[in-house]
Structure 1
Amino acid sequence: MMKGLKKWRLFSLLAVMTVFLSACGEEYISTLKPAGAVGKEQFNLLLFSITIMALVVIVVSVLYLYAFMKARRSKLGDDYMPKQVEGSHTLEVIWTVIPIVLLLILAVPTLIGTYKFADVKAMEEVDEEGNKTALTVNVTAKLYWWEFEYPEQGIITAQELVVPTGEKVYFNLKAADVKHSFWIPAVGGKMDTNVENMNKFYLEFDEESEGLKDGVFYGKCAELCGPSHALMDFKVKAVDRAEFDQWVAAMQSTEGATASADSTDLGEQTFANSCLMCHAVSGVGAAGAMGPNLTAFGDRNRVAGVLEHSKESLEEWVADPESIKPGNLMTGKYGELSDEEISAVADYIMSLSVEQ
Structure 2
Amino acid sequence: MKDLRPIGGRRRWIFVLPLAGLAWLTSGCGVIGGKIASTSDPAGDQARLIWDLFMVPVWWLTVAVFILVTGWLLVNIVRFRRKPGDTRIPPQVHGHPRLEIAWTLIPAVILALIAIPSTRLIFQLNRDPGADTNALRVQVIGHQWWWEFRYPEYGIVTAGDLHLVVDRPVVLTITSQDVIHSFWPPRLAGKVDAVPGRENTMVFTPEEAGVFYGQCAELCGAQHAHMQFRVVVQTQQEFDAWVQKHRQPAPDPAPGTLAATGKELFEGPAGCAGCHSVNPTYDPSTPINKTLMVGPNLAYFAERQTLAAFLPNTVENLHQWIANSEQVKPYSIMAEKWWKIRAQQNQLLTDEQVNAIVEYLRSQQ
TM-score interval, normalised by the smaller of the two chains: 0.7 to 0.9
Preserved CA contact (<8 Å) 2:185 2:215: yes
- Pair 1:281 & 2:278 matched: yes
Say which of 56, 67, 70 aligns to 1:58. Answer: 67
| SS of the residue 2:361 aligns to | helix
- Pair 1:224 & 2:219 matched: yes
- Pair 1:252 & 2:247 matched: yes
- Pair 1:267 & 2:271 matched: no
Q: 1:64 to 1:284 in 2, by over 3 A?
A: same
Q: Which residue in the other structure is 1:41 paired with?
A: 49
Preserved CA contact (<8 Å) 1:263 1:269: no
Aligned length: 328
Alpha-carbon distance in structure 1 between the residues aligned to 2:235 and 2:95: 65
Alpha-carbon distance in structure 2 between the residues aligned to 1:96 and 1:328: 51
Preserved CA contact (<8 Å) 1:145 1:159: yes
Q: 1:79 to 1:333 in 2, by over 3 A?
A: closer
Q: Which residue in the other structure is 2:304 paired with?
A: 300
Counterpart amino acid of residue 26 in structure 1? G
Per-residue CA distance 1:271-299 (angstroms, 9 max, x = gap): 12122232222211156211111112111
Q: 1:112 to 1:86 in 2, by over 3 A?
A: same
- Pair 1:195 & 2:210 matched: no
Q: 1:298 to 1:203 in 2, by over 3 A?
A: same
Preserved CA contact (<8 Å) 1:27 1:34: no
For structure 2, list consecutive stretches of 5 or more residues without a partner in the other structure. Answer: 1-6, 8-14, 284-290
| SS of the residue 2:139 aligns to | strand
- Pair 1:101 & 2:101 matched: no
CA-CA distance at 1:191 after TM superposition: 0.8
Q: 1:24 to 1:283 in 2, by over 3 A?
A: farther
Q: Which residue in the other structure is 2:230 paired with?
A: 235
Q: Which residue in the other structure is 2:355 paired with?
A: 343
CA-CA distance at 1:253 after TM superposition: 2.0
- Pair 1:163 & 2:176 matched: no
Matches within 5 A, 1:13-92: 21-22=29-30, 25-26=33-34, 28-47=36-55, 48-74=57-83, 77-79=86-88, 82=91, 89-92=97-100
Q: Which residue in the other structure is 2:286 paired with?
A: none
Counterpart amino acid of residue 338 in structure 1? T
Preserved CA contact (<8 Å) 1:27 1:186: no
Alpha-carbon distance in structure 2 between the residues aligned to 1:93 and 1:32: 37
| SS of the residue 2:191 aligns to | strand
Q: 1:81 to 1:329 in 2, by over 3 A?
A: closer
Q: 1:333 to 1:96 in 2, by over 3 A?
A: closer
Q: 1:60 to 1:75 in 2, by over 3 A?
A: farther
Q: 1:247 to 1:36 in 2, by over 3 A?
A: same
When the two structures are superposed, what TM-score results if normalisation uses the length of structure 1? Answer: 0.83
Preserved CA contact (<8 Å) 2:31 2:40: no
Alpha-carbon distance in structure 2 between the residues aligned to 1:308 and 1:101: 49
Preserved CA contact (<8 Å) 1:142 1:176: yes
CA-CA distance at 1:86 after TM superposition: 5.6
- Pair 1:325 & 2:320 matched: no
Alpha-carbon distance in structure 2 between the residues aligned to 1:346 and 1:20: 43
CA-CA distance at 1:18 after TM superposition: 6.1
Alpha-carbon distance in structure 2 between the residues aligned to 1:81 and 1:146: 63
Counterpart amino acid of residue 43 in structure 2? A
When the two structures are superposed, what TM-score results if normalisation uses the length of structure 2? Answer: 0.81
Counterpart amino acid of residue 291 in structure 1? G
Preserved CA contact (<8 Å) 2:155 2:282: yes
| SS of the residue 2:358 aligns to | helix
| SS of the residue 1:177 aligns to | coil
Counterpart amino acid of residue 82 in structure 2? R
Q: Which residue in the other structure is 1:212 paired with?
A: none
- Pair 1:173 & 2:182 matched: no
Preserved CA contact (<8 Å) 1:208 1:238: yes
| SS of the residue 1:333 aligns to | helix
Q: 1:121 to 1:239 in 2, by over 3 A?
A: closer
Q: Which residue in the other structure is 1:208 paired with?
A: 209
For structure 1, list consecutive stretches of 5 or more residues without a partner in the other structure. Answer: 127-131, 210-215
Counterpart amino acid of residue 333 in structure 2? L
